Chains A and B, each alone.
Chain A
């Protein structure tokens, strides 16, 4: 579970925009947002830095 979609919406970014900032494919962002793929720790840290939020605020059980 994560609130990536909401955080992305707040910034008015498309999945492609976020993917470009993270250096991954758009499908990766889609898969993480829908919970079909768990982001690795390095990617979670990248998201944390990008949104200036602790990892546990983005990802939760």
Chain B
């Protein structure tokens, strides 16, 4: 994202949208801790994080439902940011490129999920990749946008 935010050619609308994207990414990180289990690699690095894990089998259905709903927030925010940007972007060419980049972002996110699914099953070690979907989506979309824009220099 820093690649994009350092660009002096960005319009105020693009800068504003980038700030929202940054917020969505931060929210994604925060909601990672709302999962039933903190991601295994994180616990490997910081063992004390294991204390944040929600005890399994002892939570009420309502709490589980609320925790699940919390992780939807970054995804809904992502949809809102994209819709708001595409509606307000006056440059039709940039709009077309943004749509292409967004499609790449969705593709990379789906591919990431598929790969993570195979790896977690193979190693029988759960990793809540779904919680990182919003981050994966934004990072891959930003990289794709830079690449497609570069082809029109």
Answer yes or no: are A and B bound together in one complex: yes
The segment from B16-24, B69-77, B91-99 that touches chain A is: B91-99
Interface contact A27-B92, CB-CB below 8 Å: no
The tally of residues in B whose CB lies under 8 Å from a CB in A reads: 11
Q: Which of B92, B96, B149 has the most CB of A within 10 A?
A: B92
Q: Nearest residue in B to A28 (C-beta to C-beta)?
A: B93
Please, how many angstroms separate the alpha-carbon atoms of A59 and B93 in the complex?
17
* Contact residues, B75-115 vs A (CB, 8 A): 90-94, 96-97
Does A11 sit within 8 A of B, measured CB to CB? Answer: no
Does A31 sit within 8 A of B, measured CB to CB? Answer: yes
Please, how many angstroms separate the alpha-carbon atoms of A54 and B139 in the complex?
44
The one of A24, A27, A36, A37 in contact with B149, judged by C-beta atoms closer than 8 angstroms, is: A27
Chain A residue numbers with a CB within 8 Å of B90 are: 23-24
The one of B92, B97, B153 in contact with A43, judged by C-beta atoms closer than 8 angstroms, is: B92
Interface contact B152-A31, CB-CB below 8 Å: yes
- For the complex formed, measure the closest distance between the CB of A6 and the CB atoms of chain B, giving whole angstroms: 20
Interface contact B153-A27, CB-CB below 8 Å: yes
Q: Nearest residue in B to A16 (C-beta to C-beta)?
A: B9
Does A40 sit within 8 A of B, measured CB to CB? Answer: yes
Does A14 sit within 8 A of B, measured CB to CB? Answer: no
- For the complex formed, measure the closest distance between the CB of A11 and the CB atoms of chain B, giving whole angstroms: 21
Please, how many angstroms separate the alpha-carbon atoms of A36 and B153 in the complex?
12
Some 24 contacts from A to B, beta carbons below 8 A apart, are A23-B90, A23-B91, A24-B90, A24-B91, A24-B92, A24-B93, A24-B94, A25-B9, A25-B93, A25-B94, A27-B93, A27-B94, A27-B97, A27-B149, A27-B152, A28-B91, A28-B94, A30-B153, A31-B152, A32-B93, A36-B152, A37-B93, A40-B92, A43-B92
